[in-house]
Amino acid sequence: MFALVDCNNFYASCERVFDPRLEDRPIVVLSNNDGCVIARSNEAKALGIAMGEPAFKKEEVYAKHNVAIFSSNFALYGDMSQRVMRTLAQHSAAMEIYSIDEAFLECSGLSADELDRFGIHLRKTVKQWTGIPVSIGVAPTKTLAKVANHIAKRLPDNSGVCVLTKEETIEYCLKKLPVEKLWGVGRRYALFLRSWGINTAWDLRRMPEGWVKENMTVVGLRLQKELKGEPCIPLEDQPQKKKEICTSRSFGTMVTELDELKQAVSMYATRCAEKLRTQNSCTNLVNVFLHTNPFRPDLPQYKNVRLVRLPVASNSTLNIVQAALGGLRSIYRAGYQYKKAGVIVSGLVPSNTIQYNLFHPTDEDRHMRLMSAMDTVNDREGRDVLRIAEQGFARRWTLRQERLSPCYTTRWADFMTISV
């Protein structure tokens, strides 16, 4: 049996934990540069505020209904996610962290009544220990657990727990679930399935397996078997290493000067290097890209990308920043107002299987010691306390975050104080 634990309106809930005045008040969280809506409380959803909608289109609605608006505070959300996951890990022998606000738990060996009590207890514990409300769906497969979680969020008694073990209950729920709501069924697949008269999850479950495999490949067949209660997708308790890492941001203001672009690209390359070291990988290829604002046709347009191949795979910030800056200098053109830049590292290999280059000697041991020292200091004292000089300090190009809440759990200056 699998349990899917999903945090309700996670980003909005994080903001609400530290400010009780936000209870029952509509909340929206905006994307980078305060552009589009990326999270909504239930109250905001009831007002018709859509996911991904540009914030400026609903300014009148925000003002009329006293909507609380926040810039995305990923430092806070990431730390709150870790707290939730640590809580869940104490209640299951095996757990798969599926996303920042979702996790699958192994909960075999329990009866239907025990599963229900387990879900209720777990939901109460997470709320008490972290302040985050969650919904829990339990079923024989991960796909059915997704279905159960979808139902749990909409239960009229607000219990937040749905257990699917009886065949007649599973059939009833699948007949009510639109096919586009299924895990792994995107918009195009949904249109295709509906053209064949497959409108619900139950319809897909009843299709011949041969037809499903022919039209939806083995992935679709696995989905169908999961709907039938046959576990085909195992629990992955060890996170998969990324095959490619990208760090990019839109600038808070237009950037024209090469020096400012070098600061930004250096920071993005630094983040990529840190992520590589976290998963014990090295990169062979460094991609750098930049472009102007495509939504400003009144301005001259330009975009370009450059691939730089490293002679020896590395996860050293020094090597990756050097390669990224070399690529940037080759594609930069004066006279344009740039809106976005980024760095992508690919061709990843384990850090213990590097193929060295006879004609390009390198002191990797020295780099590893230096990077280890930098990571230790930055982990203890705060991000970028030690940094590459090219990253600079006066970052006029950084994200616009005019409605950023305090980093209540990750910054000493933002810790809450209580007077008694």
User: Looking at the annotation, which residues are catalytic?
Assistant: 102
Distance separating alpha carbons of residues 243 and 349, to the nearest angstrom:
9
Structure tokens at 250: 């839109």
CA dist list (Å): 182 to 73, 151, 244, 355: 30, 12, 27, 43
Distance separating alpha carbons of residues 25 and 271, to the nearest angstrom:
36
Structure tokens at 61: 């609605």
Distance of CA 395 to the CA centre of its chain: 25
Is-contact 317 371, C-beta < 8 A?
Answer: yes
Distance separating alpha carbons of residues 32 and 398, to the nearest angstrom:
10
Question: Can you give the C-alpha Rg of the chain in angstroms?
Answer: 24
Q: Which helix (H) or strand (E) holds 126?
A: helix 112-130
Distance separating alpha carbons of residues 330 and 48, to the nearest angstrom:
47
Is-contact 224 144, C-beta < 8 A?
Answer: no
Query: Could you give the maximum distance between any two Cα atoms of the chain, in Å?
Result: 70
Is-contact 230 222, C-beta < 8 A?
Answer: no
Is-contact 267 324, C-beta < 8 A?
Answer: no
CA dist list (Å): 204 to 9, 151, 188, 234: 29, 19, 15, 21
Sign of dihedral through CA atoms 306, 308, 309, 315? negative
Is-contact 388 55, C-beta < 8 A?
Answer: no
CA dist list (Å): 282 to 247, 273, 312, 346, 412: 16, 8, 9, 9, 33
Indicate the length of the chain as a whole number.
420
Nearest to 105 by CA among 95, 114, 113: 95
